[in-house]
Chains A and B, each alone.
Chain A
Amino acid sequence: MADFISAKTINEESPWGELTEGLSIYEPGTSAAVMTGEWRTLTPTFVEEKCKQCLLCVPVCPDSAIPVVNKKRLDFDYDHCKGCGICVRSCPFDAITMEGLD
């Protein structure tokens, strides 16, 4: 077994001898490589023209799925957004909508 196995080199085809001991992960932030957005059933929509860039939605996202560049939020990172709807509730300007949310 190799001394250091990076999460990037592990996939669902990796043989047992090429995984880490106890499946430990020796590096940070590797969950970004896992496309958990496919768990989503409801999807938020970013209405850019209504957005005032107050950024209230960014810190409440449990999955860091609202990217911010140059102090401005961008469209959702749908690879990781689970569709929880917390951002919809946090927006004072109806700039995030979600069909199917009560």
Chain B
Amino acid sequence: MSKKDRLSGNEAVAIAMRQINPDVMPAFPITPSTEIPQYFCDFVANGKVDTEFIPVESEHSAMSACIGASAAGARVVTATSSCGMAYMWEELHVAASDRLPIVMNLVNRALSGPININADHSDGMGAKDTGWIQFYAENCQEAYDNFIMAYPIAEDKRVHLPMMCCQDGFITSHAVENILLEDDEEVKKFVGEYEPEHYLLKDGEPMAVGPYSVTNYYFEARRAQDEAMSHVPEVAKEVQERFAKTFGRKYDFIEKYRMDDAKYAIVIMGSAAGTMKYYVDRLRDEGEKIGLIKIRMFRPFPAKDVAAALKDVKAVAIMDRAQSFSNAGGPLGVEVTNALFHARSQAQAMDYVYGLGGRDLLEEHARTIMDDLKDIAANGHDDYYRYLGVREA
């Protein structure tokens, strides 16, 4: 039986971690993810979990300890944000190339500098090419649900890759929302036991993890990693279907909102999807044929799903809560326009950089997008991206 509660995203994720009862949690505090290991330490101290908590001296060490523990055969969890994850950079790649199904909650926060502790996606987007699976949550419920689905995806034999469950700093991590929590036993049953086939502590099978790989081998190992990533959609689909059957909440890699007869669309990720749905409703009330596509799974990128969902639109706005300094748009813009190009789409596409360093997405921004989309659908455009909500000179 589901139980109604009111929780912040950090509390919800910490509860999911307690229910899963992983073997090892190395973690180092950084705002706004600090509460996750803090709540979890309470669970450890009160005997609610059997987890070995390792209070490491840095995030570099946190991810190193995750790798060691996971290679040893443990189910491993950690949480971090922003510069904390930046300090894990080297190890993120190692965790993926060693094919270790570590699960991390990334509470998205702007990267320094200038130093700022509020929400944007520059940390997650910076790690998009590390070989980790990435799911982004819109709200506390999704942050909780994504975390429960993470281990069955990451630990599947066809995958064996680490996974990042992302939620927006403060907006999702600290805001208290109504949420449905599932029974401890049901969650445990859903996630199941971790039974790795090869691990360092396996009796009778001496093993080497992460050996030096010369030029004759490195390329093949990376190719195999990409193949593992290509299995994520089939596995995640199975897990999402089992989740829907068990707990009643249905998820897909993308969520289509009021897209049925839409001529215009907004592609967005994270908590601002919820805000934007509200603005889409307002625009719909005024007769505008606009819909929204929320990206839940960013790595691997569901390019074909996105292109199919956009096949009937005249113009699309892609919302990037991160910069990439290419002078040609942000990371989500690149993914979506790539998907559109390969689908030979005729839609006009405009990328928008918004919400950096925790700046709010306002109704006037949605109205600017609506006006822009109608204009570029009629008249075309030669710019790749625009800014929303920045003070212009």
Contact = CB atoms under 8 A, between A and B. Distances in A.
If over half of B's interface residues share one DSSP class (helix, strand or loop), that class is named, otherwise mixed; here it is loop
Interface in A1-59: 1, 3, 12, 14-17, 19, 21-28, 30
Contact of A19 (B98, B206, B224): B224
Contacts of A28: 206
B198 interface: yes
Contact of B208 (A1, A3, A16, A24): A24
A26 B207 contact: yes
Contact of B213 (A3, A14, A23): A23
Given A12-B216, A26-B207, A28-B206, A21 B99 contact: yes
Contact of B97 (A3, A12, A15, A22): A22
A42 B209 CA distance: 32
Contacts of A30: 208
Interface residues of A, number: 17
Contacts of A1: 224
Nearest to A28: B206
B205 A26 contact: yes
A16 B221 contact: yes
B interface bracket (residues with beta carbon within 8 Å of A): 20 to 34
A14 to B, nearest CB: 7
Given A27-B206, A28-B206, A22 B220 contact: no
Contacts, number: 53
Contact of B98 (A12, A16, A22, A25): A22
Contacts of A21: 99, 160, 224, 228
A24 B217 CA distance: 12
B198 A19 contact: no
A25 B202 CA distance: 13
B207 A19 contact: no
B183 interface: no
Interface in A87-102: none
B305 interface: no
A25 B160 CA distance: 16
B206 A16 contact: no
A83 to B, nearest CB: 20
Interface in B275-301: none
B391 interface: no
A27 B202 CA distance: 11
Contacts of B209: 22, 24
Contacts of B216: 12
B220 A25 contact: no
B382 interface: no
B220 A15 contact: yes
A14 B224 CA distance: 12
Contact of A14 (B197, B206, B207, B220): B220
B223 interface: yes
Interface string B211-235: 1010011011101100110000000
Nearest to A1: B224
A13 to B, nearest CB: 9
Nearest to B220: A16
A17 B224 contact: yes
Nearest to A18: B220
B114 interface: no
A96 B217 CA distance: 37
Nearest to B197: A3
A17 B99 contact: no
Nearest to B95: A22
B47 interface: no
B113 interface: no
A3 B198 CA distance: 10
Of the listed residues B211, B223, B228, the one surrounded by the most CB atoms of chain A closer than 10 A to its CB is B211
17 contacts: A3-B197, A15-B220, A16-B220, A16-B223, A16-B224, A16-B227, A19-B220, A21-B99, A22-B97, A22-B100, A22-B221, A23-B210, A24-B198, A24-B208, A25-B208, A25-B211, A27-B206
Given A22-B210, A24-B210, 18 more contacts: A12-B216, A12-B217, A14-B220, A15-B220, A16-B220, A16-B221, A16-B224, A17-B227, A19-B224, A21-B160, A21-B228, A22-B209, A23-B211, A24-B99, A24-B198, A24-B209, A26-B205, A27-B206
> 10 shortest A-B CB distances, which residue pairs?
A16-B220, A28-B206, A12-B216, A22-B99, A16-B223, A25-B208, A21-B99, A22-B98, A16-B224, A23-B221
Interface of B: 97-100, 160, 197-198, 205-211, 213, 216-217, 219-221, 223-224, 227-228
